[in-house]
Chains A and B, each alone.
Chain A
C-alpha cells in the first residue's frame, strides 16, 4: 500500500520528527512522536478505529479536532480517549474500544 504520508508539498514544510514505536491491537506500528494517534493509525492504513455499540457500524475519525467523539479508543488502558487530539508517545498501547468501554474503578 502506498503510504498516505505527504513526503513533499508545494507549499507546506512538514518538520522532521522522531519516529516512535506503538502498538495497535497488540501489533507493532511506527509513527511520529507527538502526532495525533488517529493520524499515525491513518498513515498506517488503519481507518476503522472502533464499532458503534448498538449496530456494530465501523467508526473512524471524522472532525479531526476533538469534537465529534467518533475516534475514541482505549489508550494505555484509558477508555474514551479522543485519538485525533491525543499525541502519540513511545510504547503506547492502543486498542479498539469494545462497546461503551469499561471504566476501571
Chain B
C-alpha cells in the first residue's frame, strides 16, 4: 500500500490510468500523484490546459485524457517527479515510458539501461530512445525508454 511502503498498488493506480481506447490513440500522461498536497505547477505547465484542480491547489490533479497530447512538458515541472508519459503506439509489442531523471550519469540516446519497477526491483534492460535536457528544464532531464508493452505501467525508474 502506498502509505505503508511508498509503492502504488494496481488498485490505487486505476483512477489515473486512461481507458484502453485513449491508450490506443498515442502518448498520454500518467500523473501518479494520489495525495491532496498543496502543489500546482503541473496545471500551468500544460499547454492544452488538460490538468485541472477544481477545488484549489490541494486538490489531486485531474487529467482530461482526451485533451492531453502526451507532449510531456509537465514531466520536468512536477516537484514530486510523479508524472510519466506512456506511448502504446510505439511499435508492435513495444511501448515507451518517459520519466524525469535527476541523477548522474544522464544516459544518451541508444544507450541500454536497467529498468526498475516501483519497488526498485530490476525488470530488465531497456533502450533509451530519447533524452531531453535543455536549460529550460532546470536540470531535470526527461528520458524516454522503449519497453515491452506489458511493462508500460510497471517500469518507473532507470539505473544508468
Contact = CB atoms under 8 A, between A and B. Distances in A.
Contacts of A8: 104
| Size class of the A contact interface (CB-based, 8 Å) | under 10
A3 B103 CA distance: 19
Nearest to A12: B139
Interface in A1-25: 8-11
Contacts of A9: 104
B143 to A, nearest CB: 13
B116 to A, nearest CB: 17
A11 B76 CA distance: 13
Interface in B80-99: none
Contact residues of B: prevailing secondary structure = loop
Contacts of A10: 102-104, 106, 139
A3 to B, nearest CB: 16
Contacts, number: 9
A11 B103 CA distance: 8
Nearest to A6: B104
Interface string A10-52: 1100000000000000000000000000000000000000000
Most interface-central of A8, A9, A10 (chain B CB within 10 A):
A10
A9 B105 CA distance: 9
B58 to A, nearest CB: 27
A24 to B, nearest CB: 31
Contacts of B104: 8-10
A8 B106 CA distance: 12
Contacts of B139: 10-11
Nearest to A8: B104
A9 B106 CA distance: 11
Interface of B: 102-104, 106, 139
Interface of A: 8-11
Q: Which 3 A-B pairs have the closest CB atoms?
A: A10-B104, A11-B139, A10-B102
9 contacts: A8-B104, A9-B104, A10-B102, A10-B103, A10-B104, A10-B106, A10-B139, A11-B102, A11-B139
Given A10-B102, A10-B104, 7 more contacts: A8-B104, A9-B104, A10-B103, A10-B106, A10-B139, A11-B102, A11-B139
